[in-house]
Structure 1
Amino acid sequence: MSFIGKSFCAVLTAASLIAAPLTASAQDKKVVISQAFQSMLYLPLYVAINKDFFKQQGLDVDKETAGSPTAALSAVLSGSAQFSIHGPEWTAIAASKGANVGIISNVANGAAVWIATTPDFKFETIKDIKGQKVVTGLMPTTSTSLFMKLLKENGMDPNKDVDMLQVQIGSEPGPFMGGQAKVAVLYEPGLDQVAARGMKVVLGFPQVYGPYAFSSVTVKKDVDPDSAQKVVNAMELAFRFIQSNPDETVAIAQKEFPSLDPKVVEAAVRRMIKENVYPKSAETTPDAFKVAMDTQIVLGNLPAQPDFSKFVIQDYSKKALTLAN
């Protein structure tokens, strides 16, 4: 059994020991959204909060930070949260083990991972890193998973053809800038932190894989449908806002990440808008979902593609598409 599979067994066992799900009041529509981390990937959520899109829909949202995808999903399984935000693969793995969960909205729709090198490194194709030491995130994480997948697709063995230096997620810039490797696989804002210090961005996974269901809103399938529709409506308004108001979106991100260099935050947000990491709508397409799940199948975390029509609950996003601006 893979590491992720073992993690989900623990999650599902723990959830079974917790009392019945909490329900929000039908009058005040209080809901809890549990996010895995405070992450730039989840900027649409922060835009929806800062622009009062949830309030406009009649929701009182309590955003909680769980600390990991499994903890955020566990909050939904136990009923302490009605919604969670993290990679849809965690939801799919839980569903494959019997959890009554699905996804209702996009959050990030591009493979938000990039490869950077030192300025003197000659990079023309991914095969140029054969024999190199590469800084990557500690597994299990999508950045390293995608990197390994790309190597395999190009005829390389991740365990033999590169020397992966796996470090805690978010700490990749340290050993890279410290000279321990000439190549690094990075999320934002780490990518633009190293780019600001002269490193080269040589490959973007959003261009390699196109639409990719990278982060989503998860629910139990018996979620209150009115609350779910209002959450998706608010997210839809946030996606539209990001596309139409990039400057104000940058300002919101700078507010949400006050400890980071504002210029790094701006560069990261503008990169993710330009490369379509932030989706244009709440809708998850079959192609984007399939590409994301294929990664987990290759890694042995999923036995087969989930049934899209049953796992991705499309009614909410289809209704949200009809909202007036």
Structure 2
Amino acid sequence: MKHALRLGAGAVTVSVMTALTACGGTGSGSSSADSASGKKTATIQLAIASAVIGPKEEVATYSVAKKEGFLSEENLDVKTINTDGSVAAVQAVASGSADITPADASAILAAREKGVPVVAVGGLVQNWPWRIATLPGSPIKSAKDLKGKKIGVISLASGSAPYARAMAEDGGLDPQKDVDLIPVGVGSQALSALEGGKVDALALYTQAYTTLELSGKSFDYLQNGPRFDGIRSLTYVVRKDTLSKKKDEITRFLRASYKGLLFSAVNPEAAMRDGYSVYPAILSGQQADARIANDTKILQAWVRTAVPATGEPASWKDWGAVSTEAWTKTGDYMKSSGTITKDPDLTTLWDAGLLKDVNDFDAAAVIGKAESAAK
């Protein structure tokens, strides 16, 4: 029966700065009696790469899975902790502070090269989200025009840094000598750096630009080259022994997360309202109705990076799958950007063994629930 329905190689040792969210807790992997069914409810710990102050992956996967009942259907109680970026999120998993996290592939590959015992178990962001942007009318029109320029990145340990270097390399430049990477964060801080001349261009993800564009700003974008097609970004990762000990719980968590993602693709406004409920800090003290239109558009921009680029939701399948070709391209990209120094060993990096069971859910039921959900 079917079930109902971001990073430098040298930064892996960054200490984890964790703070429990309002819905967080302690005690990874415990269980308690489910009062409704008498069954045991498993508890797992989810590491989140940053504070949740906007519409992104935590809304589309965790918040929706929680509010729409997908986690309870799987008899899961998920606790969350916040960390300071993907590198720290991977370290939280490696240290046992968390059971699973969606982290940037660069952090996972760098950790594996250093012998950190983590393994990727399911893809999330599958459509390359990074772009180089300039102010309208800038003389920078292609990657080669970046020579001698300052590029604003989120941080030197984020996925934007290797991307900016790879873009410079695409333009025939030496990414270590011909461009200068300046940490500028995201949002208004990044915009101020660009408009104030501190940097000549920004290297951010699509959703971050969408947020700024909805405030009335506009940008020119450099064209990404074909090398970026198929490179993976956010990917679910666990510790190897956690995968052995909690295979069933991790499978159930991934299944609930992908149900949440499918729901979000079909009804992003309802998903966004679920996000407000789980993470009220997103509202910044405002009323939901005052923010819902723009926040829904921002969430849609993120969801588009995580679902198939073609086809209708009813045709989507193989949630979490990452091909050998995609991993090879990702490894090549990370080598060229200096994140890793050698080809990753896919036999230790990637385990697709859960995905058959992860995909054992009624997608039509999820779609129907999303279509009938109040907006």
Give the TM interval when normalised to the shorter protein. Answer: 0.7 to 0.9
Contact 2:170 2:225 in 1 (8 A): no
CA deviation profile, 1:52-74 (whole Å, cap 9, x unmatched): 21111110111211223233223
Counterpart residue number, 2:204 = 186
Moved more, 204-213 or 307-316: 204-213
Matched, 1:7 2:11: yes
1:247-286 matches, cutoff 5 A? 247-253=269-275, 256=279, 257-259=282-284, 262-274=292-304, 276-278=305-307, 281-286=319-324
Distance 1:165 1:5 in 2: 18
1:175-254 matches, cutoff 5 A? 175-187=193-205, 189-195=207-213, 196-203=215-222, 209-223=228-242, 224-253=246-275
Moved more, 223-232 or 245-254: 245-254
**Candidates 24, 35, 42, aligned match of 2:30:** 24
CA deviation profile, 1:251-273 (whole Å, cap 9, x unmatched): 44566422396554333323334
Give the secondary structure class of the aligned counterpart of 2:11.
helix
Q: TM-score, normalised by structure 2?
A: 0.72
Which residue identity does 2:219 align to in structure 1?
K
1:119 deviates by 2.0
Distance 2:73 2:225 in 1: 32
Contact 2:124 2:236 in 1 (8 A): yes
Distance 1:273 1:110 in 2: 10
CA deviation profile, 1:84-141 (whole Å, cap 9, x unmatched): 2211332333233333220112222233222222122255433344444432233122
Q: TM-score, normalised by structure 1?
A: 0.82
Distance 2:132 2:344 in 1: 29
Distance 2:211 2:265 in 1: 24
Q: CA RMSD in A?
A: 3.1
Give the secondary structure class of the aligned counterpart of 1:28.
strand
Contact 2:153 2:160 in 1 (8 A): yes
Contact 1:94 1:101 in 2 (8 A): yes
Contact 2:153 2:161 in 1 (8 A): yes
Q: Percent identity of the aligned residues? A: 19
Q: After the TM superposition, which segments of 4 or more aligned residues of structure 1 sit over 6 Å from their partners?
A: none
Distance 2:199 2:348 in 1: 44
User: Structure 1 303/208 Cα, relative in aligned 2: closer, same or farther at 3 Å?
Assistant: closer
Contact 1:212 1:292 in 2 (8 A): yes
5+ residue gaps, structure 1: 13-20
1:169 deviates by 5.5
Give the secondary structure class of the aligned counterpart of 1:110.
coil
User: Structure 1 240/205 Cα, relative in aligned 2: closer, same or farther at 3 Å?
Assistant: farther
1:155 deviates by 0.4
Contact 2:268 2:296 in 1 (8 A): no
Distance 1:24 1:120 in 2: 57
Contact 2:231 2:326 in 1 (8 A): yes
CA deviation profile, 1:266-305 (whole Å, cap 9, x unmatched): 333233344x344662222223323332232223332323
Contact 2:154 2:186 in 1 (8 A): yes
Which residue identity does 2:326 align to in structure 1?
A
Distance 1:299 1:156 in 2: 12
Aligned length, in residue pairs: 314
5+ residue gaps, structure 2: 1-6, 17-26, 33-39, 309-315, 364-375
